[in-house]
Structure 1
Amino acid sequence: MAPPPTIRLHPDDGVVIARATLLPGTPVADGVVATERVPAGHKVAIRPIAVGEPIRRYGQIIGFATSPIAPGQHVHVQNCGMGDFDKDYAWGVDAKPTANFVPPATFQGIRRPDGRVATRNYIGILTSVNCSAHVASLVADAFRKNPFTGDNPLADFPNVDGVVALTHKTGCGMTQNEPLALLRRTLGGYARHVNFANVVVMGLGCEVNQIGGLMQEQKLAGRLRAMDIQTMGGTRKTVEAGIAFVREALADANRVHRETVPASELMVALQCGGSDGYSGVSANPALGVASDLLVQHGGTVILSETPETYGAEHLLTRRAVSREVGEKLVALMRWWDEYTAREGAEMNANPSPGNKAGGLTTILEKSLGAMAKAGSTNLVDVVNYAEQVTKKGFVFMDTPGYDPVAATGQVAGGANLVCFTTGRGSVFGCKPAPSIKLATNTPMYTRMQEDMDVNCGTILDGDESVQECGQRIFDLILRVASGEPTRSESYDFGAAEFAPWVIGATM
C-alpha cells in the first residue's frame, strides 16, 4: 500500500510535509486539499494560520506567519518569517541515565602504542602556512596512485591507507591572539590524531605561525617531524627530504594490524550538508538512532554547527547533565548573535538557496531538523572549536555551519569517523577520518548512488522505520571503522576539504 502523500510530524503542527510534489486538489489531511502546487519536501498548511501566529513543525516554532495562510496553501519564505519568542532552557530536566549494552559491540580497529584506537592508518603532511602548501602537495603526490597507469607507490604497504597533505590558506597575515591560537589548536589536533601513524609539518620559515611556536604551544615535541623551506634550502631540497621522511615512515606504519576492540573507542562526528525538507524526517532522525546506539555502547558522538543549532538550543539544554554544561551552550548562541551582528549579517541568513529550494524556510526549522542527528541521550559536554573531546557520550562542539570548517574542527577534536547526511547531494570526505554519506530521499540517492553510502529515503517510502534505518547505519559504522571503504574514499575525497576556521582580520 502506498504511503500517504504528506507526513505529519507532531499533533500540534499546523503544517504537513509533501512526500512528493502536490498538485492542486491533492488531499493533504482530513478535509483539506492542496490549493496550489507544493514542491516535494515543502510544507502545506492544514489549518488557518493568522498573521503573526506561530507556525509549528516537530511541535516546535519554526517561524511566524507574515500573511494570512489558508488550509492547503504552500508555506514557505513568501508567508513565513522569523520572530522572537521565549525559550525555556529547563536545565537538565530531560537528562536521564543511559542504558548500556553489555557486552558492547565491537569492531576491528588499530590499537596504537598509547592505547588509542584508529579506524584508518595514514601518514600526514601538515602545513604551518599557505606558503608551504605546494611543497607539501608535491611530497604527497609522489605516493599517489595513478588511476590511468595503475602505478601504485604504496603497493608494498597494504596496511597504509595513504599519504595525505592537508593544506590551508592561512598561517600568516593574521593577528597573534585568538586567530593564531585557533589555527594551532586545529593543527595540533591533527598532529595528534589517532588515524595518523606518522606526521611531518612543513613551513616556509618566516610566517606568523612559526613551527617552533606551534610545537611548543601544542606540546608536539617528539610527535612529528618539522621542516621549513628556507632552512632546508628551497623547494627541491624540501621535497626530497619530505619524500625521504615518508619512505622511512612507511615501513613502520605498515606494521600495524587490526584487532577486535569495543565500540567505545569510536568518536563519530555528526554532519549535515545540502539539507532539504526531508533531512529532519529521515536521515537525521535515523542517524540520531545510530548515535544513541553508539553512546549506549560506550562511544562518543559530536554534534556541531552552532549556527544550525540556533533556535533549538533550549531542547539540548533540557538534556544537559548540569546547568553549567547547558549554560556553556547558551553562551555560544549569544556569541554568534554578537558575531553576526558585528559582521552585518543575521542568523536567519544561514539556510542556503539549496536548503530553501529543498523546503527549509528559516534557521529555526533547519536547526530543529539538524539536531536530530544527536539522538536523545544526555548532553555531557560543550567544547570550543578543535578542542580535544575527552568525555564519552553526546558532546557539542562550537563550529560554523560551513561543512568543511565544521568537520575539520570535529576531526581535530578527535573524531575518528564522520557521518554526513545530505538531501541535495553533497560530496565530501575528511581525511584521515572516513566519511559515511547518508541520503535523505530515494530520488537523490538513485541519481547519486556512486557518492552515497546509505539511502534513508526508505523511511519516506514506507519501506523501513526510523529505528530500522538507524540500526542499519550503526552496523555500517562498525564495518567502516573496521576498514570497509566508503564511497567518498573510493574517489579519494578528504584532503581538499581540510579547512581550519579563519577568524579575525587578515592583514
Structure 2
Amino acid sequence: MRQRILKVHPNDNVIVALTDIKAGEQLTYQNENYTVLDDVKAKHKFLTTDLKAGEEVIMYGVLVGKAQSDLKRGNVITTSNLKHAALGFETGERKTDWLKPDVSAWQNRTFMGFHREDGSVGTANYWLVIPMVFCENRNIDVLQETLTGSLGYKRKNNYQSQAEQLIALYKNGAKTDELLQAEVFVEETHQKAERVFPNVDGIKFLKHEGGCGGIRQDSETLCGLLAGYITHPNCAGATVLSLGCQNAQVSILQAEIAKRDPNFSKPLYILEQQKIGTEADMLSWAIKQTLAGLAKANECTRQPAPISKITIGLECGGSDGFSGISANPAIGYTSDLLVALGGTVILAEFPELCGVEQNLSDRCTTVEQAERFSNLMRTYEKRAEEAGSGFDMNPSPGNIKDGLITDAIKSAGAAKKGGTSPVVEVLDYPEKVTKPGLNLLCTPGNDVESTTAEVGSGANVVLFTTGLGTPTGNPIVPVVKLSSNTTLYNRMSDIIDINTGTVIEGEETIEEAGARILDYVIAVASGEIEVCAVKHGQDDFIPWKRGVSL
C-alpha cells in the first residue's frame, strides 16, 4: 500500500501529505497516530504538535516559519497561520567531511564530446551570433531568417497545417463558432532537414535588451556573460555585431574573454556598424564570415572524454511541495556522484538558499569562501529590501498553491540539489567556474536568468527540476527537465524528460533515482539523447540586471 504521509527529518514538527487527506482522518506514521483536523491537499503539511502564536515550525530540520496564531496538532499550515522565518548564520567552523558515494559503476565510463584547445569538452557544438547592444537585434533577426533555413537548422512548425485548415474554412464562409468547433489535425513530424554542416548542432542568436542605458555595471556584467558564452566549451566560435557607441564596448568584451581564456583561439568575427557604414555591407560581411566560421567549426567531431569534464548546472522552477523530497534530493545525489568522479557542479539561485546558509557556509572549504558567501547573501537581501521586496516574497502563487508557503520551506527543499559535498568555491555573477567540485554561484531565483547565468559560468548540462511544469531551455546547453511527481510527467510529457515521482510512490530510492539520472546525463552529453527543450528549440536567454530579480 502506498505511503500517504512523510516526515522529512526526525526533528520536524510538520508532516507532508503525499495524497489528499480529509479532515477527521486518522493516520499512522512510524508507530505514532495522527488525527488530521483540516483537509490537507497533497504536497501540503500538517502539524505534529500544538503550537502557540510565535512558536517555530521546523521542516527539513531547519526553521521555516513561525505560527501566527495558536494551532493544534493536526492543523494544516497555510499562508494565513504561518509566516516566513529563517535562522541567522555566521562564519563558523569548517565541516567538509562527507561520505562519498560508490562510483565504481562509472569509474571507467566516458562520454562523446567536442574537445576544445583550452582543455574543456563540449556536450554540443554551436556557432553564436551575438549583438553587443539591443540596437542590433533587428540585424540579428535578419541573419537568423537568412541563415537557419538555408543551413538546415530551421525546425518544422507542426501547427502550420492546423492554421492553414482553419484559414481555408474561414475563406469558405465558416463563422466564429464553426471555427472553434472545427475538427482539424496537427501534422506530426520529427524529420530533420539535412544540415550543410553536419558536425555543427546549430547556429544560435543571443538577442537581449541590454548593452546601453541603465548603469555602466550592467553593461560590463553583460560583457562578462557574453564572454562566458563565447568561451564556453559548447561554442565553436561567434559573430558579434556592434553599433559602436554603446556602453558595452567591444574592448570590454575582449578583456572579459581574455580573463576566461588567455589563449583564446576560436574564430571570432566582430563587425561595427558605425565603422562599416551601410547595413547591407555589414550584413553581407556577417554572412560571409559566419559561413567561413561554420566551415571551421564543422571540422570538430565528438571524441571520448572522461566524465570529469561534465559540468552540471542545478536549477529548479515551478517547484511544488514534492520538489524537495523527490526531484531535488535525487539530483543532489547525482551531484555527489559527479563530484566524486572529479566533475563539477553549480548550485545557484541565492534567494532560494535562505534559511540554509549556515549549512552551506560550514561546507565551504575555506573561511574566505564562507565569508564571501555570507557577504553575497546579505548584500543581495539588503538590496531586495531596499527595493521594497525581500527573500520572504520569493515564492510564486504557483509555489504557494502547491505547498511551498514560505521562502524558507522552498529554500530548504531547493538546497537539496547541492547534495552533501564540500563547497570548493563561491562565485559572483557572471564569474567562470574553475574548480572541480560543488560551486555556489550568485544568481536570482528566476528560472531563465539563473539558467542563463549557470551556462555562462561553464555548465555544459543543466538539470532542471519542476513540480508544476516549465519549458525553460538554453540556446547552447541541453536542459534536462525532471518532474517531482508522476502526474506532471504524464500530463506534460512533451516538455519533461525524467520522472522522479517514482520516489514519492516508493518505487525507487533517492540513490537509485540519482544514479539513473547520471546515466541519462552521460547519454545527453554524448549526443545520444535530444532533450525536450532542444527538440522544441526552447532557446531562453535573459541576462540578469543586478538588484531587479529575486
Q: State the TM-score, normalizing by the size of structure 2.
A: 0.87
Question: Shift of residue 207 of structure 1?
Answer: 1.3
Letter in 1 for 2:77: V
1:457-493 per-residue CA deviation (whole Å, 9 max, x = no partner) reads: 0000111111111001111010000012111111011
Q: 1:442 aligns with which of 486, 503, 516?
A: 486
For the pair 1:165 / 2:164, whether they are aligned, the reply is: no
Equivalent of 1:109 in 113, 120, 140: 113
Code of the aligned partner of 1:209:
A
Query: Partners in 2 of 1:472 and 1:486 — Cα distance?
Result: 15
Per-residue deviation at 1:504? 6.9
**1:310 corresponds to which of 336, 354, 375:** 354
Q: 2-side partners of 1:324 and 1:360: how far apart? A: 33
The residue correspondences of 1:381-396 to structure 2 (distance < 5 A) are: 381-396=425-440
1:13 aligned partner? 12
Partner of 2:495: 451
- Which of the numbers 283, 301, 304 marks the counterpart of 1:257? 301
Q: Does 1:132 align with 2:136?
A: yes
Q: Does 1:492 align with 2:492?
A: no
For 1:245 and 1:154, locate their aligned partners in 2 and report how far apart those are by CA, in whole Å.
22
Alpha-carbon distance between aligned partners in 2 of 1:246 and 1:218, rounded to the nearest angstrom: 19
Correspondence for 1:347 among 363, 378, 391: 391
**8 Å CA contact 2:62, 2:355 repeated in 1:** no
Structure-2 residue corresponding to 1:194 = 233
Match of 2:35 in 1: 33
Residue 363 (structure 1) aligns with:
407
2:546 aligned with 1:503: yes
One-letter amino acid of the counterpart of residue 6, structure 1 = I
Q: Which SS does the other structure have where 1:185 is aligned?
A: helix
Please state how far the C-alpha of 1:97 moved relative to its aligned partner: 7.8
Contact 2:318 2:399 in 1 (8 A): yes
How big is the shift at 1:111?
A: 1.1
Q: Which of residues 407, 419, 441 in structure 1 aligns to 2:451?
A: 407
Which residue of 201, 211, 220 corresponds with 1:181?
220
Alignment of 1:9-158 (within 5 A): 9-29=8-28, 30-83=32-85, 85-87=87-89, 89-96=91-98, 101=103, 103-141=107-145, 142-143=147-148, 144-147=153-156, 155-158=195-198
Q: CA deviation at 1:235?
A: 3.3
Count of residues in Structure 1 that have an aligned counterpart in Structure 2: 501
TM-score, normalised with respect to structure 1: 0.94
Task: Give 3-state SS (helix, strand or coil) of 1:472's partner.
Answer: helix
The 3-state SS of whatever aligns with 1:31 is: strand
Amino acid at match of 1:121: N
User: Structure 2: which amino acid aligns with 1:125?
Assistant: V
3-state secondary structure, aligned to 2:2? coil
Write the deviation string for residues 180-220 of structure 1: whole angstroms up to 9, x where unpaired: 22111111111111111111111222212122332245438
Cα deviation, residue 101, structure 1:
4.6
Query: Is residue 2:240 matched to residue 1:240?
Result: no
Specify the code of the residue in structure 1 equivalent to 2:211: G
Give the whole-Å Cα distance in 2 for the aligned partners of 1:32 and 1:454: 34
Equivalent pair of 1:104/1:298 in contact (CA under 8 Å): no
Q: Which amino acid aligns with 2:222?
A: L
Contact 2:339 2:437 in 1 (8 A): yes
Query: Given that residues 91 and 326 in structure 1 are in contact (C-alpha distance below 8 angstroms), is that contact kept between their aligned partners in structure 2?
Result: no
Shift of 1:3: 1.8
Q: Secondary structure at the match of 1:318?
A: helix
CA distance in 2, matches of 1:381, 1:66: 39
SS, match of residue 312 in structure 2: strand
Q: Please give the alpha-carbon distance, in whole angstroms, between the structure 1 residues aligned to 2:236 and 2:514.
A: 32
- Over 3 Å counting, the alpha-carbon distance change for 1:113 and 1:37 in structure 2 is same
Range moving further from structure 2, 213-222 or 289-298? 213-222
CA distance in 2, matches of 1:154, 1:370: 41
Q: Counterpart amino acid of 2:545?
A: V
1:117-171, Cα deviation, whole Å (9 max, x unpaired): 1100000011111111121132133214251599977623221110000011011
Q: Deviations over 1:198-254 (max 9, x none)?
A: 111112222121223322454388641101233333333333322222221222212
1:320 counterpart letter in structure 2: C
Change in CA separation of 1:42 and 1:488 when aligned onto 2, cut-off 3 Å: same
Q: Which moved more, 1:275-284 or 1:75-84?
A: 75-84
SS in structure 1 at match of 2:65: strand
Judged with a 3 Å threshold, the aligned counterparts in structure 2 of structure 1 residues 78 and 197 are, in CA distance, closer, same or farther, namely: same
- Alignment root-mean-square deviation, CA: 2.1
Once the two structures are TM-superposed, the CA of residue 96 in structure 1 deviates from its matched residue by 4.3
More deviation, 345-354/230-239:
230-239
Q: Distance in 2 between matches of 1:113 and 1:86?
A: 45
**Matches of 2:142 and 2:7 in 1, distance apart?**
54
CA–CA separation in structure 1 for the residues paired with 2:437 and 2:401: 34
When residues 96 and 283 of structure 1 are mapped into structure 2, their CA distance, relative to the original with a 3 A threshold, is closer
Q: Deviations over 1:402-452 (max 9, x none)?
A: 111111111111111111000110111112111100100011111001110
2:242 to 203, 228, 245: 203
Q: Which residue of 1 aligns with 2:173?
A: none
1:481 paired to 2:525: yes
Once residues 359 and 99 of structure 1 are traced to their aligned partners in structure 2, the CA distance between those partners, rounded to angstroms, is 31
Q: Secondary structure at the match of 2:305?
A: strand
Q: What displacement does 1:115 show?
A: 2.5
Larger radius of gyration: 2
Partner Cα separation in structure 2 for residue 371 and residue 70 of structure 1: 29
Q: 1:292 aligns with which of 318, 326, 336?
A: 336
Change in 2 beyond 3 A, CA 1:100/1:83: closer
Shift of 1:99: 6.8
Is contact 1:419-1:437 (8 Å) kept? yes
For residues 441 and 202 of structure 1, what CA distance do their matches in structure 2 show? 44
Q: Describe the superposition over 1:47-82 as per-residue Cα deviations: whole angstroms up to 9, x where unpaired.
A: 212211110111111111111121221112111112
Measure how far apart 1:91 and its partner are. 2.9
SS of corresponding position for 2:503: helix
CA distance in 1, matches of 2:252, 2:498: 43
Q: Distance in 2 between matches of 1:154 and 1:125?
A: 21
In the other structure, the counterpart of 2:168 is none
Please give the secondary structure, in 1, of the residue aligned with 2:379: helix
1:282-311 alpha-carbon deviations (Å, 9 max, x no partner): 000000010000001110000001111122
1:83/1:452 CA distance change after superposition, 3 Å: closer
Change (3 A) 1:34 1:133: same
